[in-house]
Structures are given as C-alpha cells and as structure tokens.
Amino acid sequence: MVNAGLMVERATKNSVWRSAALAATMASMLAACSGDLVPKGRVARASKPAKNARPATPPAPPPLETRQCFAKLQSQSVAFTPLPDQNFGGGCSAIGSVKLLDIGVPTSGLGAMTCNLAANFAAWSRYAVQPAARLILGAEIEKIETFGTYNCRPIAGSGKLSEHAHSNAIDVSAFVLSDGRRISVEKDWNGDKRTRQFLEVVHASACKRFNTVLSPDYNAAHHDHFHFDMGGRGGFCR
C-alpha cells in the first residue's frame, strides 16, 4: 500500500511539473511572437500635405481678342506658334505674341510679334508686296528682309519705350526678287522709276494696315527701313 501511495504521489508531482513546464513554454512562445504580430520595419503611412501647398493653377486662356486673332491667322493658312506671355523688366514685354513660321513669303528676322501685328504683316506681305512685285517689277518676291521685331529699347533720341519693346513693331529693310535683284529701302527709296514706284506702293498699302508707318522721309533714323507698328491711335503715315 505504501508503494502504491508513493507511486500515485510521484505521478501527481510529475504531472504538475509537466503542466508547469508546458505553461512556461507557451508563455515564452507567446512573448516571442507578440512582437511579430505587427511586422517590423517601415510602415507605410498616409503622407501629410506640405504646409501652404496649393493646387497647381492652369494658365489662363488668352483674351478673346487674342483668340480671335489666332483664328484669323488660321483662316489665312498662316503657320504660327503662340508664345507665352513674358515681362522682361524695365517696361518691356511680349504679351499676346506669336512666332510666325510660314506666311507664304519667306521672311528673315521674325521674332515675337503681337498677334495683331503678325496678322497685318502676313496680309501685307501676301496681298500687297507680292502682287506689287509681279505687276511693277515683273518678278516674284523670294524673301522679305527685316531688322527684327522685339527689342527692349527706347525710341531713337527719346526716353520713351519703342513699340519694339512690346513686340508690337517690325522694321522691313529689303526685298529679294526671283530674278536675283535686291530692292533695299536704303538704296532704292530714291532709285530708278520702277523700284521707287514699287516701294511707294507697298509703303502706301502699309499705311492702310498698320497704325504707324515710318519711311526714310520721316527722319534719318529710318533711312534704311520701313517701321510698322500697331501702337497709338492709327493714321500716322510718314
């Protein structure tokens, strides 16, 4: 009986010990696993908006007048590229301007031009200069040469900004013909009868299209070119 009692007691102790050991092992495993219930490492979080961040504002569409001018150029099959509005400082700017690519008559020196100036220049080149060359000189215009368009500078001998400073003027210096002749304002304004007539006709036509037209008859500063611009109230033709 004693041996049987000892055996029961020992079995009970062994059972308790194993239960305790098992409980300790489970606790240890849970403790080890508890840190892995949330994966370690970088956790993606919703990014915070930057302070003072504002949504990008799309550029404002051109004014109605400029859009209508673009449509006019397109209707005349004039190839052009609209240019972004720019302020260059010192009062100089290029607003509502375009770059003419093809007006039907090759032209040198074309830079930024207000759309209205560009449309009138394209029409003058096609419908005044080219027909006059055919009729009076018996040749085609191969190229119109200019001194350029935009230029941030004052009017010669004045402190007032030129219309060139607003991409609103162009200076025309010469015409190259298909027969090789070159008619220049400087040399031919007082040249032979036909070349003088041609220059007078294209000058008179310009006076109907541009607000200001200046020739060598105006002053010495224009001895070698025609100046055309869309500034002022119009009707100034010299």
Q: Is pLDDT larger for residue 46 or for residue 134?
A: 134
What Å distances lie between residue 66 and 77, 83, 96, 109, 237, CA to CA?
17, 12, 6, 23, 25
Q: Where residue 157 falls among pLDDT bands split at 50, 70, 90?
A: confident
Query: What is the residue range of 225's domain?
Result: 64-237
SS3 118: helix
Question: Is residue 238 a contact partner of residue 220, using CB atoms and an 8 Å limit?
Answer: no
**Domain presence at residue 34:** no
- Residue 51 is assigned to a structural domain of this protein: no
Q: How far apart are CA 166 and CA 163, in angstroms?
A: 5
Q: What is the mean pLDDT of the chain?
A: 83
Written as six digits, the tokens of 127 are 């419908």
Helices (H), the chain: 2-34, 64-75, 115-124, 130-132, 185-188, 193-209
Q: Please compute the mean of the pLDDT values over residues 40-44 and round it to a whole number.
A: 39
Three-class SS of residue 226?
strand
In a domain, 155, yes or no: yes
Q: Is there a domain that residue 141 lies in? A: yes
> Mean of the pLDDT values across residues 119-137?
98
